[in-house]
Amino acid sequence: MKRFAALGLLALPVLACVVYLAAHALVRARGSDGPPWVAQKFSDPKDAFDFALTDQDGKPFRLDQLRGKLVLMTFGFTHCPNVCPTTLAALAAMHRALSPAERDQLRVVFSVDPDRDTPMIMKDYVPFYDPDFIGLTGDSGEIGKTAKAYGVYFERQFQTSPIAADYYTIDHSTYVYVIGRDGRWIGLYDNDRLGNTDKMVDDIRRFLASGNG
């Protein structure tokens, strides 16, 4: 019995060593980024398309004007009953959780419906979620080019409505696109990953701390 006890005591340092090595290997596999990213971070970022749209004040607006800021861009429409409000609310919660200095380095932009989402409507809708958010619109050609450049799908779906004979909703992609301060497209968020504010804040802080964020 004493022999087995002695063997057990001898095994403890070996077991501790194995646990340490396993934990060390996990940390190394994870890299220096710490906890897993919520965003899909691109290993090979590319130049982001420099769109030419119109902001909520009716002024011409290009992506290049945000150089030096981390940009989160999402495509939606103001008549959207569910996904768009949920997305903007999640981004607003993340934005509020950042420090003033961090918020100053970040911009959120929103656009897709060229016909109903006039600058006046955008100015009333987008800042409701956060006064720093930017609503963009434009003609169908420019919005179409922008959507195509980012692989965004959107299509009108006409529906019967007592409000108007030509009432429609828009089926569209629900990603949030991440554009670094150097103007490169560096990642994206799936819509269903936006609900954890703390993890998104961790992501944003790591993007801001990185060379290309």
H-type helices in the chain, by residue range?
Answer: 2-30, 83-97, 100-104, 119-129, 140-149, 197-209
Q: Within its chain, how far is the Cα of 165 from the centroid? A: 35
Beta-bridged to residue 171, according to DSSP, are 155
The share of the chain scoring above pLDDT 70, in percent, equals: 77
Beta-bridged to residue 109, according to DSSP, are 73, 134
Separation of alpha carbons 15 and 20, rounded Å: 9
pLDDT at 24 over 50: no
Among 171, 32, 181, which Cα is nearest to 105's? 181
Q: Which residues contact 111 (CB under 8 A, 6 or more apart)?
A: 53, 73, 75, 76, 117, 135, 136, 137, 138, 143, 146
pLDDT at 74 over 60: yes
Confidence category of residue 116, pLDDT binned at 50, 70, 90 = confident
pLDDT at 32 over 90: no
Separation of alpha carbons 95 and 129, rounded Å: 10
What is the chain's mean pLDDT, rounded? Answer: 82
* Over residues 132-150, mean pLDDT: 92
pTM of the model: 0.79
**pLDDT at residue 171, as a whole number:** 77
Separation of alpha carbons 49 and 60, rounded Å: 16
